[in-house]
Each structure stands twice: as C-alpha cells, then as structure tokens.
Structure 1
Amino acid sequence: MDRFEIALISIPILLGMIFLRVPIGLAMLLCGVGGTAIVTDRWVPILASLKSLTYDVFSGHSLSIIPLFLLMGQFATKGGMSESLFKAAAAFLGHRRGGIAMAGIGACAGFGAICGSSLATAATMSQVALPEMRRYGYSGALSTGSLAAGGTLGILIPPSIVLVIYAILTEQNIITMFIAAVVPGIMAAVGFMIVVAIYVRLDPSAATIRERVGLRGRIAAILDVWPVALIFLLVIGGIYVGWFTPTEAAAVGAAGTGLLALRSGELDWKGLKHCLLATATSTAMIYFIIFGAQVYNTFLAFAQLPQTTAEWVAAAGFSPWIVLVLILLAYLVFGCVMDSLSMILLTIPIFFPLIMTLDFGMGPEETAIWFGILVLITVELGLVTPPVGMNIFIINSLAPDIPLSQTYRGVVPFLIAEIIRIALLALVPAIILFLPRMLG
C-alpha cells in the first residue's frame, strides 16, 4: 500500500471517529500521528516533533487575533448590545408583515459585525427576538427558521473567525478577505428578508403586523445603536486605512465593546470573569483543533495527497466548474455532520491547492479570494442544514416548546435562498471581487 492510499484510507477513519463523537481536534491529531508513523514506519520521530510543532503553530502573531475577536463578542453579548440592535431594526421594519423576523435578521447582521461567531449570534439574538415574535403571534417555523438563518451572518459579516482561519491557512491578506465578504454579507441579509416577505405572503397566518414606531422613536433607537456602528467602523475602517493591523484592530474592538458593556452597567467583576473564562475556553478549543489539523495536514502533505489529487483531476480533463461544484457539494454534505471551523481546517489543505491549479479566468490572488468567500458561504449553509445544523439546535434549545420539525420546515426557504446566492456568486465572481478591486 503506497502513501497516497494510506492517506485516502485515513479520511473515512477520521470521519468515523467524528461520528463516534471523538473531539475533532483529537481525531485529526491521532490520524495525523498514526498516518505519519505508518508511512515512515517510525513512531519516535513524529512523537518527538510534536513539541517543536506546537511552538511553530502557536508562536505566530497572526493567531492572536482569534481570542481578541472572541473577547469582543463576549463583551458585546454581556453589554446588551443585541437588544439595542434589535430595537433599532424593529423600529424601521416591525410594522411590516413579517417585520419582526426581518428585524431579527437585520440585528443578527449588526451583531455579527462585532461578534464574528454564528453560534453566539444565533443564541444571543434569539433571546431578544423570540419573545417579541411570540408576543405578536409569529409561527414557530418562521420565528425559529429566520433566526437560525440570520445567525449564520455571524461568520459572514466581517470580522469573522472562520474567515481569519481561511486567510491564515491560505496565506491571504485578512484585510482583503474582510472587504470581499462585505457585499455577499449584505446580499445574505437582504435575501433573508426577501424570503420572510415571500413567506408571509404565502402564509399570512405566520405573522401579524406590529404598530408603526414614530419618528421620535426611530431617532431614539438610532441613538442607542450608534456605539455599535462606531466600533464596527473603527475596526474595519481602521484596518483598511492603515491605522491598525488586524490584530491591533481586534484589540481596539475588544476594548471598545468592553467599555460599552461597562458603561451599560451590565459588566461587573463577575461578568468580566465569565467573559474572560468563556474566551479562554473557546480559544483553547479552537487552538487544539488548529493543532490537530496541522498535524493531520502535515501527514497529508507528506503522503502527497493534495498534489496527487490535483494531478489526477488535471489528467482526467474535468472542467474547472465541475470540480468547483463537486467541492461545494462536499461542503454541503460535511455541513450536515461537522462544524464550520472543523470543515475549513480539514478540507482547505486538500481543496485549495486543487482549485489553484484550475483556470477560472482570474489571477491566483483573485481566485483565492473568490473561492474563500464561496467556501465561507457554503460552510455557513451547513450551520442550518439538517440533521446537525448547529444553529438549529441552539435555537431549539432556547424554544423547547417549538418542535424541531417546525424549525427544519421553517429553515428550508432560507436554504433555497442560500443555494441561489452561492450559484450567483460562483457564476459572477465580480460580485465578490468588486470591492477588493475598487479599494485595492
């Protein structure tokens, strides 16, 4: 059995371990160590290399952005910013049929701009928006389905933890990736609102109409939410104009959201301790997955799986677009059983070199940016794809009286909208590349 065959066999073994609920980081670490030892027929060198590999992986400055953005999200959650965002969106949209669901989606987009985590966005916004939807008689399917879909905006609207990981893995500019995600993120938010509008017209009983908020109320709502907009502009704008590096911008964002949380009176010593511990726990989990992925991907590279796969695809004469479609379909399947970060870390070292050998009529840098956003959106879709759909389970845990089947039914129209958006962005790369080209 040659190296390539051993690498291929390791993939179903890895997936089997994940199905058996072995932590993804540990599963990749074991497969990486075991695979390398089998290929080299030596255990001692690979075990000895783990101590130096640990330092090599985590001593890099770029990874420090992750805990800072996570802390920023923790402060935003603790500081009650989600409620201000929802009230502001509801002041302008709540009087429409389905308007509260639209406001929930808009608030998810706003919260995602200072959070970077879809799971945190879904959980936080659901606690604010679900009671309001219940109050106005929204159906369980529409309320939970719209919030599950809206929560996915947490990893698409910059800053995004998953986008940072992709940029690090593929050695792309984090600033450029953030800029490229802006238009697709806006498209997603608007698209979800259109889905709600169509939904309530096909099923008028799914939502009622709330009273219109007057001009004074709208102005007050905007004034309540301006600090959040200021932090977003300071972080993203500061990165672009060169005031901060991405890591420095993350630190500024974390400090800004911390001060706002302190100003709101919601952040006491107990709350600060909770934010720090939650950030440390999430960071440790992410770092362990990154370490396991690095070990496993080193094994795949040693076994020449990415190179051999690219050579096989080139020899088979497949169209680049067929290869892209197959890769995106693979992400949809993986999304049914894996979380977004694990998918990125497991697949990018295999798929990215393959994509970069294909000709899509763009330069290498633009191809990398375009592919990264497509992957991000497809991974985002996995968060609401049955049977796992992490966002679905989070929403359902917050609304246990709504059957899971209703949530699945409610999320289907949003899945269809996402698939249409992926197809549009794949066929028209200029939508993604418009801002990077204009601002580059």
Structure 2
Amino acid sequence: MAVELIGSLGFLALFGLLASGMPVAMALTLVGFIGTAIMSGISAAAYTLSGQVFATVTVYELSIIPLFILMGNLASAAGLSRDLFNAAYKIIGHLRGGLATATILGCAGFAALSGSSIASAITMGKVSYPEMRRHNYGARLATGAIAAGGTLGILIPPSTGFVIYAVLTEESIGRLFIAGVLPGLLLTGCFILAILVITFIWPEEGPRGPSFDRNEKFRSLVQAGGITTIIMITIGGIYTGFFTPVEASGVGAFFALFMLIIRRKCNLRVLYDVGAESLRTTGMVFFILIGANVFAPFVALSHLPETIAGAVTDLSLGAYGTLTIILLGYVILGMFIEGLSLLVITLPIVFPLITGLGFDPIWLGVVMVIVLEMGLISPPIGVNVFIVKSVVPDVKIETIFAGIMPFWIAMIVTLTLLVFMPEIALLLPNAMFSN
C-alpha cells in the first residue's frame, strides 16, 4: 500500500475518532502510533511514543505554559479582571456602547494575563454581562462583545496558541509573543469600531451608562494598577530583553501571587482551586503536544506534505491565491474543530507549504492564530459562543451567533490588513531582534 494512501486513511481515521467524541490528544497519539507501526514497524512506533513523551515534558521552554496559566488563574482569583473592567466602565461607560467597549478592553487586558480565550470569555462574561443587562443593553451586542472579546486570549501575548505553534515549528516563542502585540491592538480597535457602527445604526442596543466624576475615574485607574503593572513587567521585560519569555512567566506568576496576598484573598482553599485548575489546563495542553509530536512523524513518513505541496503548485494559483485557499479552509474547518486541535492536526502539512511560498513563519503564526480565533465564534460549533451560553443561559444560542457577526467581519478586516501589510506583525519582533 502506498504511503500516501496510508497517510490519507490516517487522517480519515483521525477525523472519525474526533467525530466520535475521543479527546484530540488521544486521537492524535493513537493514529500516529498505529500509522508509524504500519509503515516502519512496531519497534519504531514504540520508540517514537516513548521518546516523544520524554522529549515533550523535558523541554525547558515549555515551562512557560504552566507558569502563565498559573499567573492568569492567580490574577483572576485576586479580582484583577474586574478591576480592569471597572476602570474602563467608569471612564467610557457613559458613551453609547461604552459598556460593550469596556468589555472588549477588559478582555484584551485579561488576555495579557491568561493567554486563554475560554478563560477570558468566562471571566469577563461573569463580570460585564450583568452590568450590560442592568443598563438595558441588547442581548445580541452584550453576548457578541463577550464572545468576540474572549478570542483575544490566544492573540494578545502570552498566548497558548503561540506557544504550541512555536514548539511545533521550532520558532521563537518570544518573537511570536511580540509579533502578536500590534495585531492584538488592531483587532481590539476593529472590535470597538464594530460596536460604534452597531450603536450608530441601532442605538437601543447600547444605551449610555452612568457618568462618574474625575475622582471616581482616577480611583478606578489606581485600582487597576495591579493588572497593568504585571502586563508591563512581563511583556515589557520580554521586549526589552530583560527577561526571557520563561523568566517573564515566572516573574508574572510571582507578582500575581503577591497581588492575591496583599488583597487578603489568599487562603488554602483559593490556592488549592488555583493550583488544581492550573494543573488541569497544563495537563491538557501537554497531552495535546505529546499527541501532536507522535502524529507528526507519521505525517512525515506518509509524504503527504510533499504530495499536497506539489498538487497545489500544479494549480498555479500563485502565493497569495494558495494562501487564500488555505485560510478559507481553516475558517471552514474551524467551524467544526476546536482551534488548538486544528492547529496541531494541520500544521505538519500547512507550515512547510506556506513557508515554501516565501511567507515569513512569524507572520504566519499570527495569521493562523487569527483564523483560529474566527473558528472560536463561527457557527455551528463556535466554542466561545457555547462558553458564553453557559454563563448567560437565558439567552438563545442563535441570538449569540447573531451578535458575533459584526465582530466576525471585524476579524476579516484585520486578517486582510495583515495579509497585505505584514509589517504590522513583524515591526516589533524585527526591531527587538536587531537590537
């Protein structure tokens, strides 16, 4: 049997296992092990499995994952996310759509601590939705802003998506983190612009909130100083070269713990809950990475990357035509497959194909993360939509999907700008690299 056929059957088996409900990490490991055993023998498959487990869990750079996850959980327990929303709420809440804008800004700030879209959506949903409904915001705008704002969690550094991409492609985690800063700010701005357009056309969706005096605004900014300090220390330290990304994650976790202590919210129960949640999330991410590293050698043995690259080249679509087809495929697949799972499944084939066309691998990481974000809010599976639904069970799922559409269009605009102006993503990492 031709190795290309075995590889194709392996992918069909993988998607079948995922459709049956098997966890993606287990499905990747199973298909990779059996496929390698068929093509190279059981000994080679066993060696790959044992070797990749050890190799993955002993990579020093991957210690960034549990530390940043811990930092985000400690910050959430300390109430830093609520402080950021309250500051934005008191400064711009009196504007039309101001509470929705405050939600987007809160999500962006919390994303810089958690690196998780799901955590951002859950946290800000619990904080901001009651305020928006109390001020008679439309359910579409309120839930759409939460679901869309949560997607910033895998774009604004620190990002779990960037870490996984870096590990699978052997790119620099620090460069990817810095590359995500300007695109993250751009996407945040496009989301806010979408809110302005919505409230201009339908003012009833985002009525004005209460006004606060200067003293109230100033106090809220001081209260939010904890989260801004941690962000400046971690991201600023990476950019200036004072910290490596791993060191920055440790320093950030320490300061988040410090904030928990000085706010008198640190007790054994809180520490247990934070530790348990951090371990669960870390275990899930590492299991997926192990599965991806077992699956990748099987893909290489099948010669599918070379076969697909040759077939795409024969189409003579050109570099941007090929990129467009691939990104469109990601958007479609993202409607059915969770983003990080889709990344680890497809990257062994897509990465060499796109970089072979001359595209920068750091820029590609940013573009792929945005496309994965689109999948997080795309029907029918959009994970963030169902997360928001769990937070606000009184809102119909179709209402939430209707609410995210303007933000989905904003993501298309951001993606288009990045494709035609790659320097948006590359400006900061290139400046850092040259120093």
TM-score grouping bracket, smaller chain normalisation: over 0.9
Q: Would you say 1:421 and 2:420 are equivalent positions? A: no
SS in 1 for 2:95: coil
TM-fit CA distance, 1:17 = 1.1
SS in 2 for 1:114: helix
| Other-structure match for 1:375 | 368
Alignment of 1:163-182 (within 5 A): 163-182=162-181
| Other-structure match for 2:432 | 439
The letter of the residue matching 2:405 is V
Query: For residues 53 and 404 of structure 1, what CA distance do their matches in structure 2 show?
Result: 40
The letter of the residue matching 1:273 is Y
| Other-structure match for 1:227 | 226
Check conservation: 1:94, 1:210, Cα contact below 8 A: yes
| Other-structure match for 2:254 | 255
Gaps of 5+ in 1: 361-366
The letter of the residue matching 1:25 is A
| Other-structure match for 2:94 | 95
| Other-structure match for 1:18 | 18
TM-fit CA distance, 1:248 = 1.1
| Other-structure match for 1:363 | none
1:85-143 CA-to-partner distances (Å, cap 9, x unmatched) read 00111122101111001000011001111111010000001111011001100111110
Check conservation: 2:97, 2:195, Cα contact below 8 A: yes
Alignment of 1:216-365 (within 5 A): 216-360=215-359
| Other-structure match for 1:138 | 137
TM-fit CA distance, 1:390 = 1.0
Query: For residues 358 and 226 of structure 2, what CA distance do their matches in structure 1 show?
Result: 44
The alignment's C-alpha RMSD in Å is 1.3
SS in 1 for 2:224: helix
Check conservation: 1:80, 1:266, Cα contact below 8 A: no
Which of 389, 398, 405 does residue 396 from structure 1 map onto? 389
Query: For residues 210 and 281 of structure 1, what CA distance do their matches in structure 2 show?
Result: 39
Q: Work out the number of aligned pairs and report it.
A: 433
Which of 380, 398, 407 does residue 405 from structure 1 map onto? 398
The letter of the residue matching 2:399 is Q
Query: For residues 240 and 194 of structure 1, what CA distance do their matches in structure 2 show?
Result: 28
The letter of the residue matching 1:5 is L
- Worse-matched range after superposition: 131-140 or 421-430: 421-430
Query: For residues 198 and 29 of structure 1, what CA distance do their matches in structure 2 show?
Result: 46
Query: For residues 242 and 153 of structure 2, what CA distance do their matches in structure 1 show?
Result: 24
- Worse-matched range after superposition: 128-137 or 230-239: 230-239
TM-fit CA distance, 1:163 = 0.7
| Other-structure match for 2:182 | 183
- Worse-matched range after superposition: 290-299 or 304-313: 304-313
TM-score (norm 1): 0.96
Check conservation: 1:153, 1:185, Cα contact below 8 A: yes
TM-fit CA distance, 1:193 = 0.9
Check conservation: 2:115, 2:157, Cα contact below 8 A: yes
Percent identity between matched residues is: 38
The letter of the residue matching 2:335 is C
Gaps of 5+ in 2: none
Q: Would you say 1:104 and 2:103 are equivalent positions? A: yes
TM-fit CA distance, 1:48 = 4.4
TM-fit CA distance, 1:438 = 3.2
- Worse-matched range after superposition: 259-268 or 244-253: 259-268
Check conservation: 2:48, 2:294, Cα contact below 8 A: no
Query: For residues 210 and 47 of structure 2, what CA distance do their matches in structure 1 show?
Result: 67
Check conservation: 2:104, 2:188, Cα contact below 8 A: yes
The letter of the residue matching 2:11 is I
Check conservation: 1:140, 1:407, Cα contact below 8 A: yes
Query: For residues 222 and 405 of structure 1, what CA distance do their matches in structure 2 show?
Result: 36
The letter of the residue matching 1:176 is R
The letter of the residue matching 1:149 is A
TM-fit CA distance, 1:316 = 3.8
Query: For residues 359 and 44 of structure 1, what CA distance do their matches in structure 2 show?
Result: 38
1:363-382 CA-to-partner distances (Å, cap 9, x unmatched) read xxxx1111111001111111
Alignment of 1:188-203 (within 5 A): 188-203=187-202
Query: For residues 207 and 46 of structure 1, what CA distance do their matches in structure 2 show?
Result: 57
1:331-355 CA-to-partner distances (Å, cap 9, x unmatched) read 1122112222212211111111111
| Other-structure match for 2:8 | 8
Check conservation: 1:111, 1:121, Cα contact below 8 A: yes
Alignment of 1:110-129 (within 5 A): 110-129=109-128
Query: For residues 187 and 93 of structure 2, what CA distance do their matches in structure 1 show?
Result: 19
TM-fit CA distance, 1:273 = 0.6
Query: For residues 285 and 359 of structure 1, what CA distance do their matches in structure 2 show?
Result: 34
Check conservation: 1:235, 1:250, Cα contact below 8 A: yes
TM-fit CA distance, 1:315 = 3.9
Query: For residues 312 and 219 of structure 2, what CA distance do their matches in structure 1 show?
Result: 58
| Other-structure match for 1:28 | 28
Query: For residues 335 and 144 of structure 2, what CA distance do their matches in structure 1 show?
Result: 16
The letter of the residue matching 1:318 is L
Query: For residues 44 and 176 of structure 2, what CA distance do their matches in structure 1 show?
Result: 37
| Other-structure match for 1:81 | 80
The letter of the residue matching 2:5 is E
Query: For residues 51 and 178 of structure 1, what CA distance do their matches in structure 2 show?
Result: 30
Check conservation: 1:79, 1:264, Cα contact below 8 A: yes
- Worse-matched range after superposition: 134-143 or 201-210: 201-210
TM-score (norm 2): 0.97
TM-fit CA distance, 1:230 = 1.0
TM-fit CA distance, 1:410 = 0.5
